Amino acid sequence: MDITADLLTDVSADALYAVVSNLATYPQWLDIVSRAEPVEPVDSDGGPAWSIDLRGQIGPLRRSKRLRMVRTVGESPTAIRFERREHDGRAHSPWVLAGAISPVGEATRVQMSLHYGGTLWIPLLDRVLRDEIERSRPRLVAAARAD
């Protein structure tokens, strides 16, 4: 599964980067992230790490997933990348969240791309995620303005 979303706003690149580069802010503006807490990084991580709880609901069905994510790229204020890095000795499906922030005239564009390499994704989840992305846009802008 691969999904990409764009946002064009008058908020500065620095303010947007401060929010999207720190997974601990995501529960404030993205409802599918119910918890995001910093965890101690391991030497091989190469960046800060978070324990993330994702949750989703389709009708009466609820699913949740806990991921350990590491920021592997942090180029302020233009690029970020988070990758799933578990240290439990088991094989896990890849999750990658990448972001690019760039000026467009007097505005700023944020483009976020999510890749999930597992087999548990179903087409209906695309719709749920896209709807959540739409709802999160004004909350992301508000969080960046408040920062």
CB 54 within 8 A of CB 62: no
Q: Which ranges in the chain belong to alpha helices (H)?
A: 13-20, 26-29, 123-146
pLDDT in tens, 26-47: 999 999 999 999 999 998 898 9
H or E element: which one contains 80?
Answer: strand 79-84
So what's the pLDDT on residue 120? 67
| Per-residue model confidence (pLDDT) at position 121 | 61
The residues pairing with 57 across neighbouring beta strands, listed in sequence order, are: 62
pLDDT computed for residue 123 by the predictor: 65
Amino acid at 83: E
Q: How far is CA 96 from CA 4, 59, 93, 131, 146, in A?
A: 12, 27, 10, 20, 27
Query: How crowded is the C-beta side of 108, counted as CA atoms within 13 Å?
Result: 17
Length reported for the chain:
147
CATH 3.30.530.20 given to domain 2-146:
yes
The token duo for 81 is: 């990348």
CA-based nearest residue to 1, from 92, 134, 124: 124
> For 92-138, what is each residue's pLDDT tens digit?
999 999 999 999 999 999 999 999 988 766 666 777 888 999 999 99
Give the predicted TM-score (pTM) of the model: 0.92
pLDDT at 61: 75
Is the pLDDT reported for residue 84 higher than 80?
Answer: yes
With 80 as the cut, is the pLDDT of residue 147 above it? no
> For all residues of the chain together, what is the average pLDDT?
92
